Amino acid sequence: MRVVIAEDNVLLSSGLELLLAAKGFEVAAVTRDGPAFLAAVGAHLPDVAIVDVRLPPSFRDEGIHAALRARRLHKGLPVLVLSQYVEREYARELLSDGLGGIGYLLKDRVSRVGEFTDGLRRVAAGGTAMDPEVISQLLLRRGNDSLSRLTPREHEVLALMAEGHDNTTIAGRLAITHNAVHKHIGNIFAKLNLSPADAGHRRVQAVLTYLGHRQPP
């Protein structure tokens, strides 16, 4: 799996490069700013990109804007964003195209190597990998009436889906059976009016609806 990284901190970028190489990823390029990142994406057409929210020259939002531009130029490019803090509006903006293939993790999650690489693979496959703290912040201003039909347990299941967990992990986290998880997810799809087409696509759309950027179709 080919990866392009945009991270100006040399220690972190070097650590990411070594970590990913050890886990079987191919790091095609490591860049330090938005323009270099966009050029590298165009040259290498990676399977997934890792982007720091704040890049030179102003260290404010260059990274997120570079990620958004890359997803416009290369439609649906999977992007995993890393941030020191939860930047709620940036997370909403990244989710706004409704395509999936999005991750938003706080940088301290990188040290949990297994979780980080699992999340990166989920994003590359078109899924989501959202930090629990990011989810909490996004839900503060959700305001989506369609979600009021969900039971408290269905909300719990959907929150774990947003983090990127599979059904087996969700069952373990909530101490319920795999069949119960499957039933809850089916109820979520029905209550959010998600058509029974591709199950993986419905899962992503349910997560995006939950995170509040769009109404279900």
Residues 6+ apart with CB under 8 A from 200: 126, 127
> For the CA atoms of the chain, what is the radius of gyration?
17
**Fold type of domain 2-137:** Rossmann fold (3.40.50)
Rounded to an integer, what is the distance from CA 179 to the centroid of its chain? Answer: 26
Cβ-contact 52, 15 below 8 angstroms:
no
Spatial distance between the Cα atoms of 213 and 90, rounded to a whole number of angstroms: 12
Fold of 142-210: Arc Repressor Mutant, subunit A (1.10.10)
Tokens 């930047």, residue located? 87
Write down the domain spans for the chain.
Answer: 2-137, 142-210
In terms of Cα–Cα distance, which of 215, 155, 148 is closest to 185? 155
Q: Per-residue pLDDT for the chain (217 aa), expressed as one digit of tens each?
A: 999 999 999 999 999 999 999 999 999 999 999 999 999 999 999 999 999 999 999 888 899 999 999 999 998 899 999 988 877 777 777 777 767 798 989 988 888 898 899 999 999 998 888 888 877 777 655 555 667 888 999 989 988 988 888 899 999 999 999 999 999 999 998 888 876 655 556 787 788 777 764 444 4
pTM for the whole structure: 0.78
